């Protein structure tokens, strides 16, 4: 079933370093526990809206499978995860890579306005354990992986995140990106694709060009 995403999330919780090959390409070490961070609601845009880059240096795409919470919850067990998941969508965890490296933590690099494109539609009743996921830039495939390579599964992610914080209906949890992240520049069209879930397309605009479709 396909559901239109209408409720703005109170928060977007993202999982970092959840694909082993991606950990290696960034030069990080695998963490003993999942790395989580929050992107603000002001970073959210939808399909067809523009990613506005207002910072200097490298800015990257990161294709991610995201899921939407169906009702308020806390301390969800992994085996009960389906009861709290409305469905799945595409997310682009846009990241100011130079800032991420300079700061040593990730909040500023991932929180700029428009740095969280999310699909307009949510797909339910789908097994997301073995789906092709990736990114195209200007029609060329730049990133391609499979959700089967995630270190933590969706139920495990929900259990971990909900043990830390209360989740509200409409909140979005993003599950990490596979190997192959890369830079986006002014004028690019970037598309995140996930098998069976859909495609999320956004144009990239540098500096103060304005968020016009």
pLDDT per residue as tens digits for the range 76-132: 999 999 999 999 999 999 999 999 889 988 899 999 999 999 999 999 999 999 999
> Is 35 part of a structural domain of the chain?
yes
Structural domain containing residue 29: 2-206
**Rounded to whole angstroms, how far apart are CA atoms 202 and 181?**
16
> Is 185 part of a structural domain of the chain?
yes
**Rounded to whole angstroms, how far apart are CA atoms 186 and 52?**
9
> Does residue 39 carry a pLDDT above 70?
yes
Residue whose structure tokens are 């800015």: 59
Q: With DSSP H G I counted as helix, E B as strand and the rest as coil, what are the percentages for the chain, rounded to 5?
A: 20, 40, 40
> Does residue 49 carry a pLDDT above 60?
yes
Q: Residue 210 — pLDDT band, cuts 50, 70, 90?
A: very low
123-137 pLDDT tens trace:
999 999 999 999 999
pLDDT of res. 209: 47
Contact (Cβ atoms closer than 8 angstroms) between residue 106 and residue 116: no
CA dist list (Å): 168 to 86, 134, 142, 176: 12, 28, 34, 20
Q: And the tokens for 185? A: 């520049």
Sorted by sequence, the CB contacts under 8 Å of residue 90 that are 6+ apart come out as 63, 64, 65, 66, 118, 119, 192, 193, 194, 197, 198, 199, 200
**Rounded to whole angstroms, how far apart are CA atoms 87 and 67?**
6
> Is 172 part of a structural domain of the chain?
yes
Q: Residue 22 — pLDDT band, cuts 50, 70, 90?
A: low
CA max distance for the chain: 47
Please tell me the least confidently modeled range out of 182-186, 202-206, 208-212: 208-212
Q: Residue 188 — pLDDT band, cuts 50, 70, 90?
A: very high
pTM for the model: 0.92
C-alpha closest to that of 60 among 184, 150, 200: 184
134-173 pLDDT tens trace:
999 999 999 999 999 999 999 999 999 999 999 999 999 9
- Domain count across the chain: 1
pLDDT of res. 211: 46
> Is 56 part of a structural domain of the chain?
yes
Contact (Cβ atoms closer than 8 angstroms) between residue 170 and residue 162: no
Distance of CA 10 to the CA centre of its chain: 15
Residue 95, domain CATH: 3.90.850.10
> Is 211 part of a structural domain of the chain?
no
């Amino acid at each position: 079933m396909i559901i239109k995403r209408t409720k703005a999330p109170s928060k977007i919780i993202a999982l970092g370093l959840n694909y082993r090959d991606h950990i290696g390409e960034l030069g990080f070490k695998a963490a003993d526990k999942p790395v989580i961070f929050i992107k603000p609601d002001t970073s959210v845009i939808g399909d067809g809206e523009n990613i506005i880059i207002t910072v200097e240096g490298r800015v990257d795409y990161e294709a991610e499978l995201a899921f939407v919470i169906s009702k308020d919850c806390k301390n969800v067990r992994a085996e009960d995860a389906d009861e709290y998941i409305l469905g799945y969508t595409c997310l682009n965890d846009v990241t100011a890579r130079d800032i991420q490296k300079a700061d040593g933590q990730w909040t500023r690099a991932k929180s700029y306005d428009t740095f969280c494109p999310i699909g307009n539609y949510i797909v339910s009743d789908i097994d997301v354990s073995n789906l092709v996921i990736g990114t195209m830039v200007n029609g060329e495939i730049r990133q391609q992986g499979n959700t089967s390579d995630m270190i933590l599964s969706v139920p495990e992610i929900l259990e971990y995140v909900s043990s830390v914080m209360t989740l509200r209906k409409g909140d979005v949890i993003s599950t990490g990106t596979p190997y192959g992240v890369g830079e986006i520049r002014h004028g690019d069209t970037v598309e995140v694709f996930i098998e069976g879930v859909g495609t999320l397309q956004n144009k990239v605009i540098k500096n103060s060009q304005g968020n016009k479709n």
